Structure 1
Amino acid sequence: MIKYITITHAKQNNLKNISLKIPKGKLTVFTGISGSGKSSLVFDTIGAEAQRQINESESSFARMRMQHYGIPDVERIENLNVPVIINQKRLGGNVRSTVGTATDIYSSLRLLFSRMGKPFVGYSNSFSFNNPLGMCPECEGLGYVQVVEVDELVDKDKSLNEGAIKFATFQPGGWRLTRYVDSGNFDNDKKLKNFSKKEWDLLLYAEEQKPKHPTKDWRKSAKYIGLIPRIKTAFLNREIEHRETIRVSLEKVIVTKACPSCHGQRLAPKILSCKIKGKNIADCTMMTIEDLHAFISTLHSDTFDTILQEIRRKLQYVMNIGLQYLTLNRSTNTLSGGESQRIKMVRHLGNSLVDLLYIFDEPSIGLHPHDVMNIANIILKIRDKGNTVLLVEHDHDLIRLADHIVDMGPGAGKNGGKIVYQGDFAGLKQSKGLTGACFSEKTSYNKHPRTFKEVLTITKASLHNLKNISIDIPKGIFTVLTGVAGSGKSTLATKVLPFHYPQVTIIDQSLPAASYRSNLLTYLDLSDEVRKLFARANKVSDKLFSRNSEGCCPNCKGLGIEKIEMAFMDDIEQICDVCNGSGYHPKVLQYLYHEKNIAEIMEMTVHDAGAFFPKERFRSAFDTLIELGLDYLTLGQRMDSFSGGERQRLKLTRELSGTDKIIIIDEPSNGLHPSDTKKLLKFLNVLVDSGNTLIVIEHNPDIIAHADWVIDLGPGAGNAGGRVMFQGSVKDLLNSKKSLTANYLQNRT
């Protein structure tokens, strides 16, 4: 019997020609600091090759419609299993994709209502909001309508020639305005407030038509259409990449409201009339998973018992992975990366397949230690069925459960890519790498917390699952808000607190407002400086060194990739053959600055860039990133490729200036190695010492232990949460009998 997956001479990305054996049928955890090569080995080498070989077994017709995987830079991989890769890529999709559809629970629920519901209104498909038979006719199953705010769209005190249309690209000189000023329909110097009702309706609401008396500049083939239908067809119904350029204008003029017909329930009145025990299918999808499980458990039917059992089983799986607070009607594009990964896990819990290769990407992210143990039990069950499980992970509790550990390092980027240690957890604690050093230490706690005089007062908060709580949050110190996932932390910190104190700054893990072309250098506002250095050194225009201007590759238009749209599947991205992914015109690469071309600069890490560029303009930005453990990032890395934690730490760099701020940070330790968590703590304390109030939502025991003040919500998630279980110093928390957080902190200190 084959006992190992064997990798020989792997060189992908920063891997240093490494070879290793991974035991089959076991749980192997790969750890190491960010950029050490974990993902390069597990995902880009092992996972990519396994998936590529599976794809090769399909017909050429099928392969053309699959994600394309290049051949990893590895001499040989032997004894691979069929892979199941469960990463943190957000489920995405549009608003028609929900937790219910992603888990297939909604399909089972539709079947149940088509059989048990009264009165009978149709078969299973009739209960789908994505089917014309069932969707609300007004909102077409979306649950909301988008309305154009006319007062934000036009300035009635101006004429068309004076710029009455406030939407981007409709301003004087903008080509879209010509459709109106050249139509012959209006006196272009007349104030809009003086328009007749007929002129007003023609300007705003007219359907597509040929103008009767256009000017000589009117294109013969063009048709006139009112402003509002034009904005809806030209922008609202176009791809998001196109909308990015006019995102700000859209946010000003478009208001999203619950559908007045279905009131957000997505379905037609006839479908909503079908009920089981007084509830229609939309009522069920609006309940938390936990409450829905309780409701389904009250239903009994000999005829439909199989369906009921199936729904209860699937709901229980979701509860087991700590997502009992979600609702089935929650859009998947609003889920975090950690929530998305756990939803993907649900799909595999009920299957009976064995001898598969499961690959997980930090499944502990976003989880309280109590919830981590639920995930751990699921992973162990997957292993015990006869599967091989690979985990990329930093969490102490999950690493400790591993049968085999591979620690990568010793550093990040070019200083990583080596195997520092292989073996069990006991041996890891004795090893010489950064991981071993961190796990051999016992967590200390803050024995001398800062004191405070002023507080932020919240009185009788009851939003979502908060149970009418009143609390004082200290000002001027470092407060950690903790509790199990779904206990109400984010509701309190990012919804209730900003309502009472609008001046707060919230730093979450969402993508910073930026275009598809944005990269690290543009985010740092250093792109112009780099282009000027090249221009001066070569005595040419600085526009040559922009991928958005004269220097762009003629084939990919500066993107470095070519996108192939695959209709109902994810788009495929392929490296541009002309520029080899740099995004620059090949002729631009002949120009050098200190013996490097612009493409080589974009591949440079923050660590190397700090020593390469002049100190005056560049050093402070790069030093800050290095302090936050982001020294391995490359200058040209696209913003949309950063993890949530990386995005958040980038946002933190902009909070260094100024004092007396109230800063809320949502789980900043996500994806961090313990050694990087130490760097983060130093940075957070600098923010507080500068005179700011810091409120951090966090599960990480190392962060909690070093807070000045801790607020613990619970005791459970969803309806079982929303109460204050503890508030006070870490020392007092360690003696608390009510707090779940206290139990896990006691084991680590």
Structure 2
Amino acid sequence: AMAGVVRAVGAADYLGQAAAGGEVLSQAQTRAARQQRHAQGAPEHRGAPDVRHTPNLSLEKRLAAQRIAQDLLERVSTLTDLGLGYLALERSTPTLSSGELQRLRLATQLGSQLFGVIYVLDEPSAGLHPADAQALFEALQRLKAAGNSVFVVEHDVQTMRRADWLVDVGPAAGERGGQVLYSGPPAGLAAVEASQTRAYLFAEQAPARRTPRQPRDWLRLEGITRNNLKNLDAAFPLGCFTAVTGVSGSGKSSLVSQALLELVGAHLGKVAGGEEAPQLDLEDDEPQSSGGRVSAGLEQIKRLVQVDQKPIGRTPRSNLATYTGLFDQVRKLFAATPAARERGFDAGQFSFNVAKGRCSACEGEGFVSVELLFMPSVFAPCPTCHGARYHPETLAVTWQGLNIAQVLQLSVEQALPVFAQQPGIRRALQVLRDIGLDYLRLGQPATELSGGEAQRIKLATELQRNARGATLYVLDEPTTGLHPRDVDRLLEQLDKLVEAGHSVVVVEHDMRLVAQADWVMDIGPGAGDQGGTLVACGTPAHVATQRNSRTAAFLAQALAGN
């Protein structure tokens, strides 16, 4: 909207308009203003012409206005090109997503006219619709053309193909990675057999086409009002895998992660997501609530689960084993050993959160804080337990030759043969392996996990639970930060949930995942005030043919295996 206001002033024919009349300053008023400026330490500019003696829209004033308008238009156009045209000028930066903030900083650099700079971007396409990713690539090309170097960490295959130089790290994740498998032009990666990226970069693995499932019922929402959604009606198929698409800022998250969760969660008698209410600053606006109602389908839903990328814990005391419930069963195994019974140890003895079994020096943390004068504190391994977290009496108890601290150091892959004869533990480990987290240690602190890893751990926890009625799972951009191979693993697990009789709704930009959905809902057609409506609904093949959808062309390419 702002670009439209200033575009007329920045146009070339603006200088040809007739000058308007009006009052001008007298010589005495000009002299007084000049003297006041000089008294404040500024130059008088006594010999320069004073535009205040000219009428409104004089050539001099129009020249000044045109220069300001052109500079303003260039800055606003950069924001629009980067897919941020829907943001209000008064929008506070703390309310921006990480992707929006990164693109805002990129827009600032594009206007700086610097050269000889190395720019490092970590997954700039995260949270971007393919149409917006094209504008991002053009912005990066502008930085390169200006004489700069651009280093990008990226999972988006299209960005990889456009790169001048590709560095592939692997071959796997965690301790099985860390090697530079290839460094050179993208075409050369085709010869590197150890690379997991190669198959996706050169379309060696075309996605298998499958027949979309038929919905067993519909969850209908009416009169949805939230952000740019105005009295919207929407229907979500139950017993299906549904993908909600649309350009960045079109209203996808407002519909799914806010309105759907709030309206359905209110009927199920719990707050959506079950998260703590965020603490608000004085300058923050009052929290919004979604308007609308659920008109049908609620009787088919018994549980509502939001699987987001928020951390599974805020301290190192929370880890992979404790979150999944795996550690409770491991502690019971140790408590049942003859050595533990002889000493009178119960399962609590093997918890690093209980005083009786943990190291008293570090209180089960495994490290201690070293206070330094005039410098920040540093953390060092506990000098008593050396990072084991437990006192010697607890570590003296072993199960299959391993003490409790050594079990926590095992990776999921290493733990599978150790607990092969324990059905409950084995099932949890198998789910973690199937979802691509076999490289994580059982005792890996929650603070060391990425958002994508935390989300998959939450999903694995759900997958190993016994069915407790039909559940609606909601995920907002679950593929953010995931390699295409991990996206395939995620899709397999989501399919298992649907096959078990549950419903899955995802907000997604990855067209490979959208192409595998049973139902697609495209929100748009644009962002902000130009969005907020249902542009197309149907199977992926149907939505790919809709001309008024900005998603259709990219979805058609994904369906064709490109």
TM-score by length of 2: 0.70
Is residue 578 of structure 1 aligned with residue 390 of structure 2? Answer: no
Q: Which residue does 2:490 correspond to in 1?
A: 680
Tell me how far apart the structure 1 counterparts of residues 76 and 402 of structure 2 sit (CA, whole Å): 56
Q: Deviations over 1:65-101 (max 9, x none)?
A: xxxxxxxxxxxxxxxxxxxxxxxxxxxxxxxxxxxxx
Q: How does 1:69-148 map to 2 (within 5 A)?
A: none
Q: Counterpart of 2:317 in structure 1: which amino acid?
A: R
Q: Does 1:486 align with 2:286?
A: no
Check conservation: 2:369, 2:380, Cα contact below 8 A: no
Aligned to 1:373: 134
Other-structure match for 2:185: 424
**3-state SS in 1 of match to 2:443:** coil
Structure 1 residue 713 corresponds to structure 2 residue 523: yes
More divergent stretch after superposition (669-678 vs 481-490): 669-678
- CA 1:472–1:408: 2 relative to 1, 3 Å: same
SS of the aligned residue for 2:226 comes to coil
Amino acid at match of 1:418: Q
Secondary structure of 1:338's match? helix
Please state whether the residue corresponding to 1:450 is helix, strand or coil: coil
The aligned residue for residue 231 of structure 2 is 468
Q: Secondary structure at the match of 1:358?
A: strand
Pairs within 5 Å for 1:647-726 = 647-656=454-463, 657-726=467-536
2:187 pairs with 1:436: no
Offset of residue 701 of structure 1: 1.0
> Which residue in 2 is equivalent to 1:737?
547
Q: Which residue of 2 aligns with 1:527?
A: 327
CA 1:717–1:560 in 2, change beyond 3 Å: closer, same or farther? farther
Q: Assess if the C-alpha contact under 8 Å between 1:584 and 1:599 holds in 2.
A: yes
Aligned-pair CA distance for 1:523? 0.3
Q: Which amino acid aligns with 2:431?
A: T
CA distance in 2 between counterparts of 1:375 and 1:564 reads 45
Counterpart amino acid of 2:429?
Answer: F
Provide the rounded CA distance (Å) in 1 between the counterparts of 2:413 and 2:312: 22
1:42-76 alpha-carbon deviations (Å, 9 max, x no partner): xxxxxxxxxxxxxxxxxxxxxxxxxxxxxxxxxxx
Q: Which whole-Å CA distance do the structure 2 matches of 1:745 and 1:386 have between them? A: 35
- Secondary structure of 2:522's counterpart equals strand
| 1:501 aligned to which of 253, 256, 264 | 264
Give how far 1:673 is off.
1.4
Identity %, equivalent residues: 37
Q: Deviation of residue 414 (structure 1)?
A: 3.5
Q: 1:382 aligns with which of 122, 143, 147?
A: 143
Cα distance in 2 for partners of 1:580, 1:439 equals: 47
Over the residues paired in the alignment, what is the CA RMSD in angstroms? 3.5
CA distance 1:501–1:580, shift in 2 (3 Å): same
Aligned counterparts, 1:150-169, within 5 A: none
Cα pair distance change 1:601/1:321, threshold 3 Å: farther
Output the amino acid matched with 2:537: Q
Number of residue pairs aligned between Structure 1 and Structure 2: 447
The residue aligned with 1:67 is none
- Deviates further, 530-539 or 515-524: 530-539
The answer as to whether partners of 2:251 and 2:532 remain within 8 angstroms in 1 is: yes
CA distance in 2, matches of 1:678, 1:487: 26
* SS, match of residue 468 in structure 1: strand
Describe the shift of the 1:362–1:470 C-alpha distance in structure 2 as closer, same or farther (beyond 3 A).
same
- Deviation sequence 1:283-334 (CA, Å, 0-9, x none): xxxxxxxxxxxxxxxxx99989998877766655544433444456666565
Residues 157 and 200 of structure 2 are in contact (CA less than 8 Å); yes or no, is this contact kept in structure 1?
A: no
Amino acid at match of 2:231: N
Question: Which of 451, 457, 460 is the aligned partner of 2:220?
Answer: 457
Matches within 5 A, 1:176-575: 316-327=77-88, 335-346=96-107, 348-429=109-190, 431-432=192-193, 433-441=195-203, 443-444=206-207, 446-502=209-265, 503=268, 504-512=304-312, 517-534=317-334, 536=337, 539=340, 541=345, 545-548=350-353, 549-550=355-356, 552=358, 556-560=362-366, 574-575=379-380
**Residue 584 of structure 1, CA deviation:** 2.0
Please report how far the alpha carbon of residue 710 of structure 1 lies from its aligned counterpart in structure 2 after TM superposition.
0.6
SS, match of residue 306 in structure 2: strand
Q: Given the superposition, is the C-alpha separation of residues 327 and 655 from structure 1 closer, same or farther in structure 2, using an over 3 Å criterion?
A: farther
What letter corresponds to residue 648 of structure 1 in structure 2?
A: Q
- Runs of 5+ in structure 1 lacking a partner? 1-299
Change (3 A) 1:526 1:389: same
Is the contact made by 2:305 and 2:471 (CA closer than 8 Å) also made in structure 1? yes
Aligned partners of 1:492, 1:403: CA distance in 2, in Å?
39
Contact 2:334 2:399 in 1 (8 A): yes
For residues 305 and 572 of structure 1, the distance between their equivalents in structure 2, rounded to whole angstroms, comes to: 55
Q: 1:422 to 1:654 in 2, by over 3 A?
A: same
Show the counterpart of 1:97. Answer: none
CA 1:460 to 1:430, structure 2 compared with 1: closer, same or farther past 3 Å? farther
- Tell me the secondary structure at the aligned position of residue 462 of structure 1: strand
| Residue pair 1:663, 1:694 contacting (<8 A) in 2 also | yes
Q: Which amino acid aligns with 2:416?
A: G
Distance in 2, Cα, partners of 1:558 & 1:340: 38
**Quick one: distance in 1 between partners of 2:111 and 2:385?**
43
Q: Is the 8 A contact 1:369 1:699 kept in 2?
A: yes
Q: Secondary structure of 2:494's partner?
A: helix
Could you say if the C-alpha distance between residues 558 and 456 of structure 1 is closer, same or farther in structure 2, counting changes exceeding 3 Å? Answer: same
**Change over 3 Å in CA distance of 1:323–1:546 after alignment to 2:** farther
Change (3 A) 1:486 1:545: same
CA distance in 2, matches of 1:698, 1:516: 31
- Counterpart position of 1:632: 439
Could you say which residue in structure 1 is the equivalent of 2:10?
none
CA distance in 2, matches of 1:551, 1:386: 61
Give the CA deviation at 1:387.
Answer: 3.3
Aligned counterpart, 1:217: none
Question: Hey, what's the Cα distance between the residues in 1 that align with 2:196 and 2:129?
Answer: 24
Residue 610 to residue 324, structure 1, CA distance change in 2 (3 Å): farther
User: 1:744 and 1:572 mapped to 2: Cα distance?
Assistant: 51
- Give the alignment's TM-score, normalised by structure 1: 0.54
Contact 2:362 2:389 in 1 (8 A): no
Question: Take 1:353 and 1:590, find their aligned partners in 2: how far apart are those partners?
Answer: 63
Change in CA separation of 1:310 and 1:632 when aligned onto 2, cut-off 3 Å? farther
